[in-house]
Structure 1
């Protein structure tokens, strides 16, 4: 939705030779999938423009990849493409109106093989593009790719797979069953609807620790700049730390008798209070695995669903 990644792979050895990526040019029509669907509904020509702009940028990226590796685009014999349901439909030229309305039914949930030339992709004239199937709603082909590449469905474990991005998908694997869901998480990671929320830019608080004895709060900012706001990972860290240290109760409410900085942090993160929080910013903080974002995410998810996982896999860019 936001970024598109390409990987150049040797089909004989399976080796990834090179990679490239770019900002999805469709962002001009909206930063999230629903905005782009609404743009296509408002003006059907916008759907065509979005498809053409992505194909054009893909062709440029393919050309760059090949040039760096002394190859010609015509030497690319196969392409596999994945994306969430909205990106899948816009790229293939499928109608998207039904994706804006419950129950968000895709045009097809089958895998698709289509000639690259029919999509305007400038690789080998006989090359096929293999498009993985979407599942349902906005649980798309990128989620299928995550399940296949992580192998969590084959391990016989209680496992959770999380593909984090502008559109995030989560899969819960228990007893040979897979339950998946999706959510528009981009705004959350960008601090939307949070008074001091911001993108992950210089000065954004990205790490938070709370001393369980003194409730002293320490933060780390991106590029070690003075704090100017908090990005999504900082919010997640703060909530995880408050839950772990008892600043938040099991219902997510702020415990009133917690002293000092931790209580003030809760007022800002949870309720958007204007009062400044006098928190300590160490010149250097050594974070253990227990305070990493992924570990906190695992803690929160385990707490919510009351299941102890054997394995949790995280993906996304």
Structure 2
């Protein structure tokens, strides 16, 4: 077995809709965008990604999300020193207790969805036609509760404008394995009856059961194969079309900017030339995963690994012995 301490995965996926809309103003809803390299690209926030991942873990892998305390406009996780399964959310995604000046930075780091092509300024018009169409036999009332006669229903439709964009997206996930399932703070006696926490020294940190720690990482990796995004009344399966990465001695996002697209014979394919250069530069030849879906391969390509299978194999290969992580050969 090979000792490892981090996982990094750069994944290419596809969506027919933009994965993140901004807050909007008036009747206009823009897409979140930023300038990068060759122009304006659509992007999401880290919170968007972690929300969908939490939801996937809850709905499909039986995660029991942590209890929270609501204090004014702030939300706090309860029992952040617990070693039970219910504390996995706070443990994996990190937490902040501002009153205590105590936090755990997330061992799961994300470079969220970014479009691989530049935004082309497409828009669409939306109307409220379904609410005004008299043929649907809908009853309508005033604010006072009086019914409005059909002939008095406004016929002018309200218009809204929103940006639309479908594209290939890439994102990068990095996991510090040595901090998954590790309690880094402890309750101590405070003034009066107040609960206070202190940081534990590295040698005093408390570990969850090895089986629970491994299962948490396996669930995250498998969740990436069925991750969805719910937005604008649409649900999109963000199936991995390419995966570059693996389990390594360090938690470094080696391939975060290496995924490229190119057109060949009227077909969009994944260009792995940058990936191969990174593998050679960092001497990762015997460790790196390079998996591309058949639909995005050049006919002459020798890559035969399925991205979904690669993620599942990586998940199944992880074990813990004496609180150290290993990858089975």
Settle same-fold status: TM greater than 0.5.
no
Q: Which has the higher strand share?
A: 2
Query: So what's the TM-score if we normalise by structure 2?
Result: 0.23
For the pair shown, the structure with the greater C-alpha radius of gyration is 2
Q: Which has the higher helix share?
A: 1
Query: So what's the TM-score if we normalise by structure 1?
Result: 0.23
